[in-house]
Every structure is written in C-alpha cells, then in structure tokens.
Structure 1
Amino acid sequence: MTSSSSCLRRVLPLCLLAWTAVAQGADETDLFESYLRPAHPAADGFAPVPDAAKIRPGSPLHALAHGRVVSVGAERNSVTLEHLYHENHELLRVRSEYSGLEGVELHPGALVTRGQVMGQVSKSVRPSVSLSTDRRMSTEEAWRFTSTRARLPQPATEPVLVLISHAKHQLRLYERGVERARVEVGFGQGTGPKQERGDNRTPVGMYFIIHTLRGEIPGPYGAFYGGHWLKVNYPNPWDARRGVERGWLNEKTRERITRAWEAREATDANTRLGSGIGFHGWASEWSLEQSRGRLSWGCVVFHPRDIAALYDRMPRGTMVVLF
C-alpha cells in the first residue's frame, strides 16, 4: 500500500483453527497468513516426554501436542505426528513418534489434539516416544525441548496482534485473528536484523508494546516521532541468547530478560544488544520510492496519518511480530 492509500479494513473469517484457512482457499504465499494460519493447528504447548521405563503395558499413550498424523505403522503399532509451533518470529515444525502400541485407529492426515490417545501400550514390546527435526533428539534433548515449551504463543487468539514484514514494508493489525488494517511502514537505516546497539537496524522477533505516548516528544529529535511513540520490549529471550553466545551478557541477565519479556514488561536496556525500539511517525510525509523505507535508527516508521489512525488500537500488551 502506498502512502496515499488510507488504512485498508478487510474483515476475514475468524479462523482460530488454522486448517480452515486452507479450506477457504487462503493464499499460502501470503507471508502474514501463512504465519498466522498454517496448514494445521499450531501447538499451544508440549506435554513432557514420558519415561518409557514407567509406562505400563495396556495403558494409553497420549499425543504430546496438537498435530497432524504423518504416518501409521504397517501393523498399526506406531504413529508419527507433525507439530507446528510459533517461536519468536518463526513458524517451526517438529515430529513425534509413538511406537510399541496396539490398536492404533488413526489414519494419515488426521488432526490430533494434545492429550489425545494414540493407542494402547503393547504388552509384548517396550514402548517409546521420540522427537525429531532434521535428526532424532536424544532423550535429554527431547525432555529439554518439551519442558521449555510447555506453553506456546497462539498469535491468532491475541486480543490485538501486529504483524510486520520487512520484505513487504507492510504492517497488518489483527483483532483475535481478524485483519482490521494494513499500512506501509519504513525501518532502520541499516539493513538486516538488528544485532547490537548503534547498528541502526530494525529487529526481527516477537515483542510486546510496553509504553505509549502521544503529543509533543521532548528532545532534539522529538519532531521525528510525529507526535506518537509506542515502545516494544526489545531485547527478547532469543536476542538475549544471541548476546550470551557472543559474550555480551551473562546467563543471569538472559534469565532476567526472559522473565520480563514473558510478563510483557520492559527488558534490560543496558546491554550491548541495544534498546529503544518501537513505532513512531515522522516529521513529515515520506515515500518508499524516495527513502527506500530506510529512515530511522532502528524503529518502525509509520506515515503520519497512519500512526494517528492506529495509535489507540495498539494498547500496552499488544503482541508484535516482525519477520
């Protein structure tokens, strides 16, 4: 959308279950829709991988998370599920396999919910539950994977959700999965995802709006906010993990950032990762053609009338995903 266009309001069906979007002919190449409404329902969390030694013969074996049946063993003694899940700015996938079963009644393509019975544990074969991505996880890796993903975000159910595409220079605003507006936006002067303080890049990731301000913005560059400022809680846990790997912060700081982010509160602003990322307007009208959308020191820049129109619709606590 160009700067001369008004905020487009396009009401969509409220599809909290992802597969309905495909049934309705959703454009799978649309970056926003493919993130928000994948081919089958995204997991809202994973149950712990059970200890095979403690599983009793004849007892039911349950699915770890929402997913889709990929395959069933020829003798109907095993099931493999594919799980999709949102993590930071990505939609990821993992498979779980349940073997040593009897009486499996599922079929490939069937949708499965968390806790659903996969089959009864065999009385003659030792059961197992495993996880794999590009390779099979060890028992310790699988335990860590599920324990750190007991609860997962469900963007389509958020009261207010903002999705932003770097590639499209576009922002879309949703209310409980229903698209309400889309506008053109600009980014930082530096190209690529933000890495550290002062690189003038805009991050990718999942954040929450933690502070809003409208009116005169103090300071020498206050005019460039266009009278509106909505701050997000960058850095997030994944940014912090990157900081630990590079030796920029310690584990204690990473844990503090993670707790604050989970509470949708401000995170540590005093590390080499940087801070002060948010949304704002601009001192005057701008065009993508003239500026290439490279305007700020790392923030998301709105056209003046778009930020004025959408400011009240993005309250504190709003989930923001930049990809």
Structure 2
Amino acid sequence: MLLVGWTVLSPPAQAAEASAVDAFEAYLRPPAPPADGFEPLPGASRSPAGSEVRALAHGRVAEVGAEGRSLTLDHFYYENHELRHVRSEYAELEGVTLRAGASVTRGQPLGRVGTKGRLAVSLHAEKRLSAAEARSFTEARARLPLPGKEPVLLLVSQASNELRLYERGREVSRVEVGFGQAEGRKQVRGDNRTPSGMYFVVQKHRGRFSGAYEAYYGGHWIRVNYPNAYDAERGLTQGLITREARNRIAQAWEERKATDASTRLGSGIGFHGWAGEWSLEETGGRLSWGCIVLHNPDIARLFDQVPEGAMVILF
C-alpha cells in the first residue's frame, strides 16, 4: 500500500538568510539543484517488497531516519516569479545509503520498499496534501523552468530597483531601474503598477516612436508578454476575463509569444528609456505607467544583448 502526502512550504531559513545578502543569488542558486519537473506520483496499489523507490525530482536529503528506514527530501522549484520549496518524506524503507545534505536527481533510487510492502510518503509542515492533491501537484509540474540555464535571463528586483543580465547563469551586467508610478503588483489596465511574474521578450524596437509618449521611450522598447498564464488565472478567478481568454493567454505565454492585449488585465509592459535623466533620489524610482525604466545609455546597451524569446523575471 502506498500512502502519500505533500505540502508546499515557505523557503527554508537558509534561503531567507541568503536573500538578505543578495536576493538575486539566493533566487538563482537555491540550497539544492532546482527541480526541472516532477515524476508522476506512484499509484496507491501495494508496493512489492524490495522494489526501488525513486526521487520524484531533483533535491537534497534533509534527514535520514534511524536505521535508514525513512528519508526526507527538500525540493526547490520555480513557479512564476517565485522560488518555492516542497518537502517529501518516505518511510518504511530499506537499503538507504544516502546521507543528510546529499543531492539527489530526478528518478534516482533512494532505497527499497521494506519487507512489509508498505511505502508511506507523507508531509510534516504547514499543509498536508491528500493523495489526490499530491497527484495533481506532480501532474501539473511535470515540466518546470530553470532560469539559471536560460541562454539569456533578465532578473529584476523591484525591492532594490536593480536589473541583472545573465547568460546561462553567469552574470553579465547590472543596472539601476525604475518602475510604475503606483506601488504594488499590477492587477488591471491603467493602475500604473508594474507586474510581478515570469515573462518573455516578444518585441523590440529602436528609433523613432509615434504618439504622445514618444519621448518617454528613450529611443528603445523591449516588450514582454504580460499578462502571463498566472495573471490570466487570477483574472479568471476575479471575473476579469473569460475562460477562453485565459486559455489563449496561457497557450501563447507557454510558447513565448505575445499574449492577448485586449483584456481588462492590461498590456503594453516592457523596458524602455526615459525623456531625460532621472535619479532614484528625486523620483523614488516611480516613473512609468507600469513599465521598467532604464537610464538611456543602459537601455541602449541592453537592447543589443537581449534577443526575442529571452526570459524575464520581475520579482
């Protein structure tokens, strides 16, 4: 018999402490290799004694029980703009040779089912998930992003007004940035807030712009595909968009394409320069109508370094 429980936890103390030192590094380099996805949860039928028990995802051994009969794993994964943590505990095992602190890979053997043929997998944390919830959790996360392995990644901290450019996890540059005039995470069109989330570059333009706001681009525009699938799910829950719109947005975002710009969630979010010099001291970094604002020399350099399709995380 297989008993299963999962819980989603707050990041552990190590990550919280690291974030106080450098939020970018804490985000990109969690205490264990981040999960690239979860294997399907085993069925609830009796597990043959002696059969192998395998890790559902990349992670780290948090604890090994007495006589190696139980094992607790920490898994870190990225969901939208958040680095999240989930812990799984396996009991009634035999043949566990791993030690606390060891890294594990997805599908790696952890030990064998004990002689009673009863494998218990449970959670001891903030929330325990039922077996059905746990199956849904793994099925929904069969494939997960790995920002640190992206060819080009823009990581933007709204708390520190800073943007860092990475190439396959290696920092290339960092610059100062400003955000929307209103504080808080973007909710609807016209709220002058900057979104938080994982997005992709879908459009670039350099040169002249038309319209009343031409000067505020600073001659450069790098657009991202806000709203994303998570924004769309929120919009559906709040009655802002239809289920059909949610599905269209989710599919386009998954394909790193432009998403529906016509809904009440808003659109037109990206990186650009400004109509002249600005400073954090004078503006508080509150400049735009929701976009990320760079100093004009910085956006000029960034424009050549960021291709369409690049991942952008606003956190």
Question: What TM-score comes out, normalization by structure 1 length?
Answer: 0.89
In 2, distance between residues paired with 1:57 and 1:66? 25
Instruction: Name the counterpart of 1:122.
Output: 114
Q: How much has 1:123 moved relative to structure 2? A: 2.8
From 30, 33, 38, the equivalent of 1:41 is 33
Instruction: Name the counterpart of 1:168.
Output: 160
Instruction: Name the counterpart of 1:207.
Output: 199
Q: How much has 1:99 moved relative to structure 2? A: 2.1
SS state at 1:57 partner: coil
- Name the aligned partner's letter for residue 155 of structure 1: P
Instruction: Name the counterpart of 1:66.
Output: 58
Instruction: Name the counterpart of 2:280.
Output: 288
In 2, distance between residues paired with 1:206 and 1:299? 14
Cα deviation digits, residues 183-230 of structure 1 (max 9, x gap): 111111111111111000001111000000001011111111011011
Segments of structure 1 that go 5 or more residues without pairing to the other structure are 1-21
From 219, 225, 230, the equivalent of 1:227 is 219
Instruction: Name the counterpart of 1:6.
Output: none
Cα deviation digits, residues 89-135 of structure 1 (max 9, x gap): 11110011222221111121111111111111123141133456522
Instruction: Name the counterpart of 2:5.
Output: none
Matched, 1:148 2:140: yes
- Name the aligned partner's letter for residue 70 of structure 2: S
Provide the identity percentage.
Answer: 60
Segments of structure 2 that go 5 or more residues without pairing to the other structure are 1-13
In 1, distance between residues paired with 2:79 and 2:204? 26
Instruction: Name the counterpart of 1:237.
Output: 229
Matched, 1:246 2:260: no
Instruction: Name the counterpart of 2:169.
Output: 177
Instruction: Name the counterpart of 1:260.
Output: 252
From 278, 281, 297, the equivalent of 1:305 is 297
In 1, distance between residues paired with 2:298 and 2:164? 12
Q: How much has 1:255 moved relative to structure 2? A: 2.0
| Pair 54,251 (structure 1): closer, same or farther in 2 beyond 3 Å | farther
Matched, 1:158 2:157: no
How many pairs were matched up? 299
Contact kept, 8 Å, 1:79 with 1:99, in 2: the verdict is yes
In 1, distance between residues paired with 2:98 and 2:20? 27
Moved more, 88-97 or 249-258: 249-258
Contact kept, 8 Å, 2:227 with 2:259, in 1: the verdict is yes
In 2, distance between residues paired with 1:135 and 1:106? 26
SS state at 2:45 partner: helix
Contact kept, 8 Å, 2:46 with 2:118, in 1: the verdict is no
Contact kept, 8 Å, 1:76 with 1:104, in 2: the verdict is yes
Matched, 1:191 2:201: no
* Segments of 4+ moved more than 6 angstroms: none
Cα deviation digits, residues 14-54 of structure 1 (max 9, x gap): xxxxxxxx9xxx88620111001111111111101101315
| Pair 55,256 (structure 1): closer, same or farther in 2 beyond 3 Å | farther
Contact kept, 8 Å, 1:49 with 1:129, in 2: the verdict is no
SS state at 1:243 partner: helix
In 1, distance between residues paired with 2:38 and 2:152? 25
Contact kept, 8 Å, 2:199 with 2:226, in 1: the verdict is yes
Contact kept, 8 Å, 1:52 with 1:128, in 2: the verdict is no
Contact kept, 8 Å, 1:244 with 1:251, in 2: the verdict is yes
